[in-house]
Structure 1
Amino acid sequence: MAVTQQEIENRLWDAADELRVAMPEAQYSSVVFPLMFWKYLSDTWEHQHEQFLADNEGLDDLSAEEAHEIEYRDYQSFEIPFIYPGTVRERRASWTSILATITQPGLGARVRASLQAIETANPDKFSRLFGSMTWTSEEVLSREVLAAVMQAMNRTPKMHEGNVSHDVLGGAYEYLLKRFSDGSGTRAGQFFTPREVVELIVEVLDPKNFESVYDPTCGSGGMLIASANLLKARGGRGYTLKLYGQEAVQDTAGVARMNLFMHNLTQFHVEVGDTLKDPRFKKADGSIAQFDVIVANPPYSLKWKPWTKDTRAIGGTAPTKSADWAFVQHMIASMDAKKGRAGVVLPHGVLFRGREEEAIRRRVLDDDLLEAVIGLPPNLFYNTTIPTCVLVFRASGTKAPERQNGVLFIDASTRFAKATNRNILTDGDIADVVTAYHSSFDTDGNPVDPDGNGGLAARFAPLSEIVANGYDLNIGRYIKHAAAEQEDLGTLIDAYNVARAERQKAEQRMLAVLASAGIEGFDE
């Protein structure tokens, strides 16, 4: 009987729930994903080992070395070695082997030794896969809790491909990612982008067979996986994509690698490091590597140490208080010269903030690299409630003729459905945005078929109009519908600052009057 998605998801959540007595939900992923992937590897290895033994019954005259050579040549795609070899504690670094010892002291140490041994034995596939593994310390996670988690996870069905498809396994992994994110609040936004936002960006960029896809802030790898899934759903070959990602947090990079493996995507490279300070993907001459498709949801308004001299800094250098445009500059430098395109989610401030950011924005627009600005609804993300936008870029000279020397603006800010903790984009919302993106526009920049975009307000604005507006990309300046429904954000900020100053003056007068009357105890 086939294993259902619901069954495996329920069992995995039961295992995760055992951690509730030991740590906050935001930390569950650092324990559950390594254990889940270890069980997947072990179940797969043991399934292939049983097949090897069945196929080679009667070959007792083989030496251990010959048997090992045949098994790993014809049956196994990775090795699960022994831990503590040559000692009385020697045992295979597999899930079942260690599970048999859960009542004995030192369980965490054995788990750690097993995961490290698997990494070491398979450096090309699993180097640094399992992260820092700090949770294997008895001080972090007691033997009793770790044993309870392993026993609960052991009740999941065998995870080898003969029993559970990669679609089910990948879906279960994503289920846990979303469940952890829904329950852990803002911290989840550091590594998980809501699926519908990812799908929107990937739909717009439309990856093709054999192309390269790069995410410079890849988190759990969702955008890379979505690229392959979309291609597969359209009848393409998702497995032909060459996937690249960089992630600053080691444990999160491990989550991404495991996520990709669970989805049966093996043509990937995920590196650890700060993309702005230490980009890990470079050409032989040391310049930034280039890719066909670049996708990202970088940390918003990240404080950083600006470049002093860097070829990526077209138009200048982003300010210390916000690296938003630095991530854009990196993505632009990473676009393939012939067909490179990029999509990035950022806060609306990148559209209108002045000084250094305005100088970069001017250069990007003058070089005709920005193709579209898509305004999204508020409260879509786990780590912020602010409205965001998607910026779409094309390599110099590669825009379609009708899209050159201008920018397409799409207002999807009111298109969402309310969920428990946040707003979501429905499949219909995504489809309408993609339709609007592909629409044709008349000489005034209005859609030729205004009903064909699902009711979304959209307009193609020529560069001359943008220049006349001081290179301000605020959507309300170009779409009257958006301007009518919400005031210019810069105006709102000015109004807020005036009101705040007036309130502070009123409070000071009130406190002075109270103090003169001998009434104290109010906090300023």
Structure 2
Amino acid sequence: MTLSTTEPGHLSQRQLESTLWAAANALRGPVDPGDFKAYVFPVMFFKWISDSWDHERAQATEDFGDALTDEIESDYHTFVIPDGCHWSDVIETARQTGAKLDNALQRIQQANPDTLAGVFGDVQWANQERLPQSALAALLNSFHSVRLDPDSVNGDMLGSAYEYLLREFAEASGKKAGEFFTPRHVVHLLVKILDPKPGDTIADPACGSGGMLVETAAAVREHSGDPRTLRLHGQEINLTTSAIAKMNLYLHGLKEFKVVRGDTFREPKLLEGDGLQKFDVVIANPPFSLQNWGAEGWANDPYGRVICDVPPAKNGDFAWIQHMVASMKEDTGRVGVVMPHGVLFRGGKEGAIRECLIRKDLLESVIGLPNNLFYSTSIPVCLLIFRKQKSAERQNKVLFIDASKRFVTGKNQNTMSEEDIEVIDAAYKLGEDADGEGGLILRRVALDEIECNGFDLNIGRYLQSEKVAEANVEEALLAYQESRERRSMAETSLADKLKAAGFEI
């Protein structure tokens, strides 16, 4: 294979990001842009492991010189790299490079079962019909031009570069990005509201690429705490995405975490004994209105997640909510979850579950966010904040915040600025708009008023002076928009299945 002659060395953040994006572009043509992440991240991680291993060996040699033994050196290494499985072994393979790479990644996973099991995903590197030798050579060659060891790229740079790629891949993936990526500004706001502390246990039952977990560590570090004291947990059903989450955490310098793959509803794996493990902070942006989520197994759920009732089989929103609320610790537990507005007013079983949760005084706040913040949906969304133990002044009340006007208009998606996030967070924590000019509407509403409204949580009922009829129009429009989006997703899924079966669309 032809190797780049660019000398490895120290890079600026911009140079590193440009190099990584060039690696992605090496795949353009044979690989769909929506699948770039499945190929680029494992190669990047392999390069990082190999360069870090070289750096650790150099440090051991410097410290011990001729007295260095294999046993001493092993203490320096974060991961084991078996003989013949180093980056140099793969990059120097001129033919059947995919088979060599596949073998190296599999053996590295096997040599590190407690830390790297499944971390490289399930790409068939030897399949030249999917990934031609020329495209793989270009991908490897792009990474060969940089060194990713601690002397060349610090952890903050590497983590930021990884997030840059996640963001770029989300742009390329369009609506499919919602399966693995939550915009950083939304994550930042939700984590800020939940206020993780050193020593907290954190869980994300729909962790995607791990952004929520990474952000909790960043929040603790920002307040001079030690993020290594956090105990981070995640579950993710998609193999590629769960692998990306593990890589994301490692590349951000986090080593003490547990990310498991599996169906959170049918097979929860964040357990303690026979029951759910309890956490200080439970945080998620789960897939909205999930159909066929596993209602059939919840009638006699052995994990105690049916706090109020079994949600409808064709909509898993309140399954996520009840699972997360059931995972809270008794004293310090708090939940933050992103949800469509439909959960605020839909009736039937969902209305009964909503009423039950409100009567138990678990819901602390409803925060309406601006439209068009997410890759996966254009419908308006909200944050629901639950607490096991509310402060005295918040008991038997729900804090409603309309933050729909706090955004910066973007080309494809809107964003929230740091100032927007600070204003919303301060309003949540103070229960008021501190300067009166924050562009927010908010109010604490007593449970008896909510009861008078039939436990409908539509934000417009409590924060504006419109008549109830006008609030009903808003509900109808939201429900219509949500239904249209669900229909579009169903049609897309059907088209994909027909195409895979060989039918012309």
Q: Shared fold (TM-score greater than 0.5)?
A: yes
1:20 equivalent to 2:44? Answer no
Structure 2 CA distance for aligned equivalents of residues 201 and 48 of structure 1: 37
Structure 2 CA distance for aligned equivalents of residues 496 and 319 of structure 1: 20
- Give per-residue Cα distances to partners, 1:353-382, cap 9 Å, x unaligned: 001101111110010000000001111000
1:7 corresponds to which residue? 15
1:53 to 47, 61, 66: 61
What TM-score results when the alignment is normalised by the length of structure 2? 0.89
1:333 corresponds to which residue? 326
CA separation of 1:483/1:184 partners in 2, compared to 1, >3 Å: closer, same or farther? farther
1:70 corresponds to which residue? 72
1:241 corresponds to which residue? 230
2:396 to 386, 389, 405: 405
Is the deviation greater in 130-139 or in 315-324?
130-139
Instruction: Quote the offset at 1:308 in angstroms.
Output: 2.1
Aligned pairs (5 A) from 1:202-213:
202-213=191-202
Question: Size of the alignment, in residue pairs?
Answer: 468
Structure 2 CA distance for aligned equivalents of residues 37 and 51 of structure 1: 21
Structure 2 CA distance for aligned equivalents of residues 389 and 247 of structure 1: 22
1:98 to 90, 105, 127: 90
2:290 corresponds to which residue? 302
1:492 equivalent to 2:477? Answer yes
Letter in 2 for 1:148: A
2:442 corresponds to which residue? 458
What TM-score results when the alignment is normalised by the length of structure 1? 0.86
2:253 corresponds to which residue? 264
Aligned pairs (5 A) from 1:368-383:
368-383=361-376
Instruction: Quote the offset at 1:133 in angstroms.
Output: 2.2
2:80 corresponds to which residue? 79
1:472 corresponds to which residue? 456
1:346 equivalent to 2:342? Answer no
Instruction: Quote the offset at 1:493 in angstroms.
Output: 6.4
Could you tell me whether the CA contact under 8 Å between 1:476 and 1:487 is conserved in 2?
no
SS in 2 for 1:299: coil
Structure 2 CA distance for aligned equivalents of residues 77 and 496 of structure 1: 50
Structure 2 CA distance for aligned equivalents of residues 40 and 97 of structure 1: 15
Letter in 2 for 1:292: D
- Give per-residue Cα distances to partners, 1:196-222, cap 9 Å, x unaligned: 000111000000001011000000000
Where does the alignment leave 5 or more consecutive residues of structure 1 unmatched? 83-91, 441-446, 498-524
SS in 2 for 1:415: coil
Structure 1 CA distance for aligned equivalents of residues 248 and 141 of structure 2: 22
SS in 1 for 2:272: coil
Letter in 1 for 2:91: L
State, as a whole percentage, how many aligned pairs show the same letter. 44
CA separation of 1:328/1:161 partners in 2, compared to 1, >3 Å: closer, same or farther? same
Structure 1 CA distance for aligned equivalents of residues 28 and 142 of structure 2: 13
Aligned pairs (5 A) from 1:387-406:
387-395=380-388, 398-406=389-397
CA separation of 1:290/1:254 partners in 2, compared to 1, >3 Å: closer, same or farther? same
- Give per-residue Cα distances to partners, 1:325-372, cap 9 Å, x unaligned: 000000011000110000000000000000110111111001000000
Instruction: Quote the offset at 1:481 in angstroms.
Output: 6.5
Letter in 2 for 1:72: S
Letter in 1 for 2:395: Q
Structure 2 CA distance for aligned equivalents of residues 236 and 58 of structure 1: 40
Could you tell me whether the CA contact under 8 Å between 1:372 and 1:393 is conserved in 2?
yes
1:359 corresponds to which residue? 352
SS in 1 for 2:51: helix
Could you tell me whether the CA contact under 8 Å between 2:122 and 2:240 is conserved in 1?
yes
Structure 1 CA distance for aligned equivalents of residues 30 and 305 of structure 2: 45
CA separation of 1:487/1:183 partners in 2, compared to 1, >3 Å: closer, same or farther? farther
Could you tell me whether the CA contact under 8 Å between 2:379 and 2:481 is conserved in 1?
no
Letter in 1 for 2:286: P
1:87 corresponds to which residue? none
Greater C-alpha radius of gyration = 1
CA separation of 1:450/1:55 partners in 2, compared to 1, >3 Å: closer, same or farther? closer
Is the deviation greater in 1-10 or in 21-30?
1-10
Structure 1 CA distance for aligned equivalents of residues 381 and 181 of structure 2: 16
Could you tell me whether the CA contact under 8 Å between 2:85 and 2:108 is conserved in 1?
yes
Is the deviation greater in 247-256 or in 124-133?
124-133
Instruction: Quote the offset at 1:136 in angstroms.
Output: 4.2
Structure 1 CA distance for aligned equivalents of residues 481 and 280 of structure 2: 43
Structure 1 CA distance for aligned equivalents of residues 473 and 408 of structure 2: 24
Instruction: Quote the offset at 1:54 in angstroms.
Output: 3.8
Structure 2 CA distance for aligned equivalents of residues 298 and 352 of structure 1: 19
- Give per-residue Cα distances to partners, 1:22-55, cap 9 Å, x unaligned: 1111100000000000000000001122233344
Could you tell me whether the CA contact under 8 Å between 1:436 and 1:452 is conserved in 2?
no
- Aligned-residue Cα RMSD (Å) equals 2.0
Where does the alignment leave 5 or more consecutive residues of structure 2 unmatched? 1-8, 483-505
Could you tell me whether the CA contact under 8 Å between 2:82 and 2:107 is conserved in 1?
yes
